[in-house]
A = this chain, B = another copy of it.
């Protein structure tokens, strides 16, 4: 049977109240007495029963998720997964509020962060944009003991919280290796498609991609990035124009959203079936494209995993328990038509 506070009190030769004061770091206990209690705790191997504690405490994990508004499909997937988690959140004494802020707007993000009341909120997960105001707002939260995880886009200047997401440079490198290996030795050009080069993710993916292509596949050259602006029609036009302009293209890397437009453009001409196409984000569209042979590989990060990880990490930080690294590390997933989940 697990030892309880009563056992600890008895073993330490103090009263239950004192054990409680030590456990909850309340004042009014001599340091020698603290030591006695802690000795008893470790001697007995006492661990606090968190569910009982939370029951007594009437604890509710009040978390806030801040994600960008707009049409970015990954953000919409995150939002959708958050809804799923919210449906089950009552079971875990967890209350999640989702705040949507305009994308690429540091000031708006900072305002959202400033609006968080550290009296009632104990954890924040945020898709961070870099800016001094944001940094200061995050620092304020940290000072006021609100735990923070940065989601998807790491804010490198803020090192006091956890990061949930992938390394996008590595994701770009992964795409490049697949591209280079799939294309083979023949020379040719590669078309790069991005939603917008304002998105940090896309910048990083491109960097990783070009690094590897340049260093390891000298037969291939990257064309300037085509911007699809997160819109199917625009993406379709842009890709179609690029493909007809450049007959030597052997491969295409879509580093962001806009798979639908890309698929439309590729479906237009049967000759394009020869192209090696690598895209990001597993969705209904990209799954079908994989099955149909239009896409050769899809790089993905699991939005559901990210949301659940963020919640688990925040809960662990609030409870003061350990996080399981293996469980919370987000993978750069590679999908071919054969290993679709």
Q: Within 8 Å of chain B (Cβ to Cβ): is A42?
A: no
B174 touches A336 (CB 8 A): yes
Chain B min CB distance to A329 (Å): 5
**Oligomer copy total:** 2
A334 touches B337 (CB 8 A): no
Q: Is the interface of A mostly helix, strand, loop or mixed?
A: helix
Q: When the two chains form their complex, are residues A341 and B322 in contact, meaning their CB atoms are under 8 A apart?
A: no
Closest to A184 in B: B184
A339–B334 touching, CB < 8 Å = yes
- Residue-wise, chain A 149-177 has the 8 Å CB interface mask toward B (1 for contact) of 00000000000000000000011011011
Cβ–Cβ contact B50 & A52, under 8 A: no
Task: Assess whether A338 is in contact with B55, with CB atoms less than 8 Å apart.
Answer: no
Contacts of A181 in B (CB 8 A): 181-182, 296
Q: Give the residues in chain B near A199, CB-CB below 8 Å.
A: none
Determine how close the nearest CB of chain B comes to the CB of A87; give it in whole angstroms. Answer: 10
Is A231's beta carbon under 8 Å from chain B?
Answer: no
**Which of A55, A296, A321, A329 gathers the greatest number of chain B CB atoms within 10 Å?**
A55
Most chain B CB inside 10 Å of its own CB: which residue of A50, A176, A182, A212: A182
- Chain A, interface residues (CB within 8 Å), range: 35 or more
CB pairs A–B below 8 angstroms (24 shown): A2-B90, A51-B52, A51-B54, A55-B55, A84-B324, A88-B324, A174-B336, A174-B338, A174-B339, A177-B337, A177-B338, A178-B336, A181-B296, A184-B185, A212-B338, A304-B326, A304-B327, A308-B324, A308-B327, A331-B331, A332-B338, A332-B339, A333-B333, A333-B334
Q: Assess whether A331 is in contact with B341, with CB atoms less than 8 Å apart.
A: yes
Q: How far is the CB of A316 from chain B (nearest CB, A)?
A: 11
In the complex, A206 Cα to B171 Cα: how many Å?
29
* Contact of B326 with A331 in the complex, beta carbons under 8 Å: no
